[in-house]
Amino acid sequence: MLRISHTIEQQLINAIARAFPDAAELAQSRGESLNPAFGAASKPEFGDFQANGALALSKCLGKPPRQIAVAIAEQLKLDPEFNQICKPAEIAGPGFLNITIKPEVLAQELQIQLADPRLGVAPVSAEGNGFSPEVIVDFSSPNIAKEMHVGHLRSTIIGDCLARVLEFRGYQVKRLNHVGDWGTQFGMLITQLKELAPEALDTADAIDLGDLVAFYRGAKERFDSDIEFQAISREEVVKLQAGDPTSLKAWGLLCEQSRKEFQKIYHTLNISLQERGESFYNPYLQAVVSDLAQAGLLVIDDGAGCVFLEGMLSKEGTPLPLIIQKSDGGFNYATTDLAAIRYRFDKAGDGAKRIIYVTDAGQANHFAAVFQVAKRAGWIPPEASIEHVPFGLVQGVDGKKLKTRSGETVRLKDLLAEAVEHCSNDLRKRIKEEDRSESEDFVKQVSTTVGLAAVKYADLSTNRITNYQFSFDRMLALNGNTAPYLLYAVVRIKGIARKGGILNTKQTADLIFDQPQEWILARQLLQFDQVIQDVEIELLPNRLCSYLFELSQSFNRFYDQVTVLKAEEPARSSRLALCGLTAKVLELGLNLLGIETLERM
């Protein structure tokens, strides 16, 4: 319903300009446009939209706000196009204009949404010049030779959701996995590999490194205790950076092994990613340093190449440096991040218009610093945007960082398996209690879908900026704002379809509603495009979650209180259409969250 919303807003602006030409002129002379303070109604009783602009106008016009609202409403009454869409605007409180759309217009909009495979969400290419800008979503980004753990959960899930929403809107999305595949830790890993499995370097597939975590730990232990091993490892880093073939071979083997492990998790989560690790930017690092030097931004301090930041102070109150080149001549993550920004915006590189980094909130300072330097160096095009999308820590129910019982970091693999297992146990119990008989395949498929959905939904449904309490009990609850509740709403609609109702998605007859539950549902369905747009701009998946939850609630009320299959025509067809559209919106919405839906559960 965004199109109608824009139309009404413009009609309001015109009405204000007609009622108060002076105010319009004043706004124009200031280079501003009149602000009707227009938006969705804060409560259903207020209609569909509200405009609070009269209150702000009262100051500069020196008139009581209610009088201004009356004048605007008078002008709206004279606009035939407005009258076609809306009932007469009502004045409430100190001077709010409450606007209600005519039922027949809502029904017509619903018809359009029903017939549209995109369910009313316009593609971005339809808005401007037919061009689909490129957006990069940088997320997940685990480290090579380490296992994915809870720390990677949020970035992976939130990043995937944002990528899905942007893709659906029609942007060309690159989902980049900026894996940690370079750095000093490879010295010890390669040294360990050469000693433990030298044959792996000569023969293809000669060895399976097996548990990489144990391998990493072994290397780390030797590095910490064995001085000779340390020295060899340091030499190995130098060799690797110099491009020694044997070292590169070993490096490649380690990366490949990790890649296989990561891929298993991504496959389980149904997430696709394009790997482009830190090493990709190696050829561009030197240029970052020399160009910053040329721009006069680089300062050598304590032997390190730094850019001193504006507006950020260190402990001592001196300007904080961003180190671009270490005193030993080596580069660090800031260098890589700068090289990446440059490459991604550059037309010769990705040519992106928007870059989104989904990482934990702890890196906020780092990104602020890197973005500032990139901006000062002129590497961010004027039309482009670069955003850090931060999220809080995953905590246990005790409010502390999530750990296993033995105090270790929780492996992502185990966490997902546990969610599925919880679900499987619940489902078996339920099947027994309800005296149903279901196949093993059914149990397996349902519990996998629900378990993973629960993990994803719990993460996405809370505002990502705050820390997040991870609790299997809460996320798998059948009631409340949880994945199972939403999935159940879909299943109920599927049940109606099975019982013989054809859920017309291309309705031709008129939609006739006479129950309040129907109107509530209809109005909510029409808000889908607005919600998608909000998520696209604000990058907050919880907005979409709240919407889907409220939609499910409205549907469940409707389902409970209004009969569908046994209703008389034309109510029956209209209600079936409503069910069909609800299912489509829920399915698409959940899909954009990365969640699969079910026919039965």
Partner RNA sequence: GCGCUUGUAGCUCAGCGGAUUAGAGCAUCUGACUACGGAUCAGAGGGUCGGGAGUUCGAAUCUCUCCAGGCGCGCCA
Residues 396-425 that bind RNA (CB under 7 A): 399, 401
Q: Is 100 in the site for RNA (CB under 7 A)?
A: no
Among 361, 380, 384, 512, binds RNA (CB under 7 A): 361
> Which residues 425-444 are close enough to bind RNA by CB under 7 A?
427, 430, 434
Q: Is 197 in the site for RNA (CB under 7 A)?
A: no
Q: Which residue has the tokens 């546990």?
A: 418
Residue 182 carries which DSSP code?
-
Q: Which tokens is 596 given?
A: 């699969």
Per-residue contact track with RNA, 319 to 338, x per CB under 7 A? -xx-x--xxx-x-xxx-x--
CA–CA gap between residue 523 and residue 242 (Å, rounded): 63
> Which residues 514-543 are close enough to bind RNA by CB under 7 A?
540, 542-543
Q: Which stretch binds RNA (CB under 7 A): 89-97, 281-289, 405-413, 523-531?
A: 89-97
- Of 286, 390, 276, which is closest to residue 338 (Cα–Cα)? 286
Q: Which stretch binds RNA (CB under 7 A): 16-24, 53-61, 103-111, 412-420?
A: 53-61
Residue 279 carries which DSSP code?
G
Q: Which residue has the tokens 């590999």?
A: 193
Q: Which tokens is 444 given?
A: 């397996």
Give the nearest distance from C-beta 112 to RNA in angstroms. Answer: 25
Give the nearest distance from C-beta 464 to RNA in angstroms. Answer: 7
How many other C-beta atoms can be found within 10 angstroms of the C-beta atom of residue 465? 13
Give the nearest distance from C-beta 130 to RNA in angstroms. Answer: 26
CA–CA gap between residue 263 and residue 277 (Å, rounded): 15
- First and final C-alpha spacing in the chain: 33
Q: Which residue has the tokens 């070292």?
A: 247
CA–CA gap between residue 199 and residue 129 (Å, rounded): 58
How many other C-beta atoms can be found within 10 angstroms of the C-beta atom of residue 103? 15
Give the nearest distance from C-beta 518 to RNA in angstroms. Answer: 12
Which is nearer to RNA, 121 or 322 (by Cβ)? Answer: 322
Per-residue contact track with RNA, 301 to 320, x per CB under 7 A? xxxx-x-----xxxx--x-x
Q: Is 501 in the site for RNA (CB under 7 A)?
A: yes
> Which residues 284-303 are close enough to bind RNA by CB under 7 A?
301-303
Q: Which stretch binds RNA (CB under 7 A): 2-10, 102-110, 176-184, 290-298?
A: 176-184
Among 5, 14, 58, 156, binds RNA (CB under 7 A): 58
Give the nearest distance from C-beta 178 to RNA in angstroms. Answer: 8
- Of 411, 481, 430, 421, which is closest to residue 450 (Cα–Cα)? 421
**Helix orientation angle between 2-19 and 53-61, rounded to the nearest 10 degrees:** 20
Partnered with residue 411 across adjacent β-strands are 149
Q: Which stretch binds RNA (CB under 7 A): 51-59, 131-139, 144-152, 233-241?
A: 51-59
- Of 301, 259, 257, which is closest to residue 276 (Cα–Cα)? 259
Which is nearer to RNA, 222 or 474 (by Cβ)? Answer: 474
Q: Is 30 in the site for RNA (CB under 7 A)?
A: no
My answer on whether omega of the bond before 570 falls inside 30° of 0, hence cis, is yes
Contact 155, 363 (CB under 8 A): no
Which is nearer to RNA, 60 or 112 (by Cβ)? Answer: 60
Per-residue contact track with RNA, 240 to 279, x per CB under 7 A? --------------------------------------x-
Helix extents (H) in 377-513:
412-433, 440-460, 472-475, 483-498
Among 2, 24, 55, 503, binds RNA (CB under 7 A): 55
> Which residues 465-494 are close enough to bind RNA by CB under 7 A?
465-469, 474, 477-481, 484-485, 488, 491-492
